Amino acid sequence: MNKLFVLLFAIIMSCTSTPSQSSRNAGSSGDILASEPQGGTETAGFTIIKDEAELQKIIKGNSGLIDLGKDTPPVNYPPFPENKKVILYNLGTFRSGNHAITQIKSLSVKDNVLYVEVPLKESGGMEIQVISQPWLIFTAPSDYQFNSVELKYSK
């Protein structure tokens, strides 16, 4: 009986001593810096943005902003966050519906994959078929190490 108690205690201690990366990262949320329903690439993918100049260039290029002269209001670019990774994620091509992401519920990393949990939007009824290529720029903690990004839709 005593050996069983020691074995059980050792198992419990080994499980609680080092948290896994996914449980440590579970529940962290990212901030959306920009999100648009058009202007992304045809295939899904991500890029890590390195500095503010690159961020401004991407936002200006992806959102299709055109300089129309002095009558256009100045563009307010989001500030480049310190101590966070900034990620551009292209969702790919969709045939109908609005697929722009407006909220990130949580971020987690498991097996070098950054999982981005976003709310599931129900698309209702008959829609006009329009090809869209949504994209978003969001932040993640700088200590997250990942090789790919995957969206997880949840209610």
Question: Quick check: is 60 in a domain?
Answer: yes
Question: Quick check: is 45 in a domain?
Answer: yes
Domains contained in the chain, number: 1
pLDDT of residue 29: 75
pLDDT of residue 141: 96
Question: Quick check: is 82 in a domain?
Answer: yes
pLDDT by 10s per residue, the chain, length 155: 665 545 444 455 454 433 334 434 445 678 999 988 888 899 999 999 999 999 988 888 765 544 545 555 566 778 899 899 999 999 999 887 778 888 999 999 999 999 999 998 766 555 667 788 999 999 999 999 999 999 999 98
Nearest to 60 by CA among 87, 83, 86, 78: 78
φ and ψ of 9, to 5 deg: -60, -40
Question: Quick check: is 41 in a domain?
Answer: yes
